[in-house]
Chains A and B, each alone.
Chain A
């Protein structure tokens, strides 16, 4: 199945792009999408312990199952305000 992956701010700078499509196996979790992302863009791997994730614009855990067509976002520490 195919999902959209988004990264922001430092993650996007390190990855060199902010959005891409990824093919994942049925039954995959958010964590599997992250592993695929770090395989494509090894520079983002050190952020692993300081990221949040979202599925379809709602916060999610790394253990959340995903579905075909989902929109997965990985967020570095936030700094709004």
Chain B
């Protein structure tokens, strides 16, 4: 977990991170809620999403996954997603932690927290964030099966693709 103590002894976590460590959703929730309070209004609703390693993929049994990321670009992408959310759902506080390295079945690969004044915005912003992570974040999943392995190929990342952004927004607001 990426964190640091401040002078008052309260331990902050960074809201955006690529980390090989086990994801800790409760710490992210505390950080988002605390951040919302420090900004003034606080959260009335706070939505969380955990992406989890599934045991099968298209009928094949998965042994484990390995994730890799281009960390400095991923951090920029997370900040861009935050800026997009700030335009669509003003006042929302966002956190995204994506794990890298070897993950076993059932472990969390990504944790997203969206804190908003009201629940509707929280749900929508959280869904939007995971859709955008899948479209744009420079992260790659390598699946290992009993009988081989494969890189998963998703979207061609283009943060300026407005059609993709609108699709993410549509899913978030469905």
Residues of A participating in the B interface, judged by any CB pair closer than 8 Å:
6, 8-10, 13, 50-52, 54, 57-59, 73, 75-81
B139-162 interface bits toward A, Cβ cutoff 8 Å, 1 = contact, 0 = none: 111100000000111111111100
Q: How many A-B residue pairs have CB under 8 A?
A: 88
List residues of chain B with CB within 8 A of the CB of A9: 68, 140, 142, 151
B54, chain A: closest CB distance, angstroms:
12
Neighbour of A79 across the interface among B70, B73, B153, CB < 8 A: B153
Contact B70 A6 (CB under 8 A): yes
Contact A57 B134 (CB under 8 A): no
20 additional A-B residue pairs with CB within 8 Å, beyond A52-B138, A58-B73: A9-B68, A9-B151, A10-B153, A50-B153, A54-B73, A57-B73, A57-B76, A58-B76, A73-B70, A75-B138, A75-B157, A76-B140, A77-B153, A77-B157, A78-B135, A78-B156, A79-B141, A80-B141, A80-B154, A81-B51
Contact B158 A75 (CB under 8 A): no
Are A75 and B70 also in contact (CB < 8 A) when A52-B158, A59-B159 are?
A: yes
Contact A78 B157 (CB under 8 A): yes
Classify the interface of chain A: helix, strand, loop or mixed: mixed
Interface membership of B169, Cβ < 8 A:
no
Q: How far is the CA of A13 from the CA of B76 in the complex (A)?
A: 25
Residues of B participating in the A interface, judged by any CB pair closer than 8 Å:
51, 67-70, 72-73, 76, 98, 109-110, 130, 133-142, 151-160
Q: How far is the CA of A78 from the CA of B159 in the complex (A)?
A: 12
Are A77 and B133 also in contact (CB < 8 A) when A9-B68, A9-B142 are?
A: no
Are A78 and B73 also in contact (CB < 8 A) when A8-B138, A9-B68, A9-B142 are?
A: no
List residues of chain B with CB within 8 A of the CB of A79: 134, 139-141, 151-154
List residues of chain A with CB within 8 A of the CB of B140: 8-10, 76, 78-80
Are A10 and B130 also in contact (CB < 8 A) when A52-B158, A78-B136 are?
A: no
Q: How far is the CA of A59 from the CA of B158 in the complex (A)?
A: 8
A13, chain B: closest CB distance, angstroms:
8
Are A57 and B72 also in contact (CB < 8 A) when A8-B138, A9-B140 are?
A: yes
B47, chain A: closest CB distance, angstroms:
16
A44, chain B: closest CB distance, angstroms:
13
28 contacts between A and B (CB under 8 A): A9-B140, A9-B151, A10-B153, A52-B156, A52-B158, A54-B73, A57-B72, A57-B76, A73-B70, A73-B138, A75-B157, A77-B153, A77-B157, A78-B134, A78-B137, A78-B138, A79-B139, A79-B141, A79-B152, A79-B154, A80-B69, A80-B98, A80-B109, A80-B134, A80-B137, A80-B139, A80-B140, A80-B141
